[in-house]
Chain A
Amino acid sequence: MSESSHAHAIHRDDFGARLGMWLFLVTEMVLFGGLFIAYSYMRSKYPAEFHHAGAELNATLGITNTLVLLTSSLTVVLAIVAIQRGDRRKTMAFLATTLGLGLVFLVIKSFEWATKFHHGLYPNSAHLATLPHGEQVFFGLYFTMTGLHGLHVIAGLSVLGYMLRMVAKGEITQDRYVHLENGGLYWHLVDVIWIFLLPLFYLAA
């Protein structure tokens, strides 16, 4: 009973927390994995239509957003290095950078979608109904997968925004930062999903 005599004998299991997060993340991987498999099958069925519809997408915006997300992933992991060294100001600066980059991603994405909408390309639009079946499938997958990914970006930004608050309030510290690690893990998964979306829709279609 030596632990109970300790002033701060709170049960904590950082490894268990990370394991729980990873178990959640693998369900996310299966969710997107299923969509990737759907994409692969449809692409093998409609190669010409996917090629034609893919030319409609703006590769420059896709590549820019890839660099934005890769950099935001770096700043999250640097925030963890900073908290491990007890540098709270740097942790907050790196996290704020990540939040800013995540917002840049969403702004670019919204411009991209707005252009598509302007061209009459949105789910269930009259123009989309006139396109060949394979192109309808392509845009269906495009809006589903980038839309679901976009929701994950918004969720990730909310989580990391809360982490920034916790660091500011001193609830995440050098000795206890598993929340920040798990928030970062989620953000990296969002990045990994986009790493696959870029070539699927913008480059190889």
Chain B
Amino acid sequence: MSDHSLASSEHADDHGVEHPGYGTFVKVWLALVVLTGLLVLMSHFGQSYAVWGLLILTPIKAGLVFYFFMHLKYEGALLKGVVLVTLGTLLIFFALLFSDVAFR
């Protein structure tokens, strides 16, 4: 991948940040495929494993897509903040709903 990193260093964007090469994203894709395989494997061990797989592996997969594929890694604090505030809001709604359901 040395030729790729060499080529990418020639094209810095308007922030002066170097663009990642093909290899970075292929590695992320491989990680996503492996995590999917792990998720499927866990679901074969029964329902509780499947749910744990869902709760742990799925957010990691989504995080990888957000961080690398959607370039959040290379964005500033404002864009990262917009996404985090949204996810936080959803989490609050989620917690509020289940705090209601749990005490009925």
Contacts and interface: CB of A to CB of B under 8 A. Distances in A.
Contacts of A26: 82-83, 86
Contact of A71 (B29, B57, B83, B90): B29
Nearest to B42: A203
Contact of B62 (A67, A74, A86, A195): A195
Contacts of A120: none
Contacts of B7: 85
A9 interface: no
A184 B72 CA distance: 13
Interface residues of A, number: 45
Nearest to B62: A192
Interface in A160-199: 174, 181, 184-185, 188-189, 191-192, 195-196, 198-199
Interface string A7-31: 0000000100011001100100110
A203 B39 CA distance: 8
Contacts of A204: 43, 47, 50-51, 53-54
Interface of B: 7-8, 11, 13-14, 19-22, 25-26, 28-29, 32-33, 36, 39-40, 43, 47, 50-51, 53-54, 57-58, 61-62, 65-66, 68-71, 75, 78-79, 82-83, 86-87, 89-90, 93-94, 97-98, 101
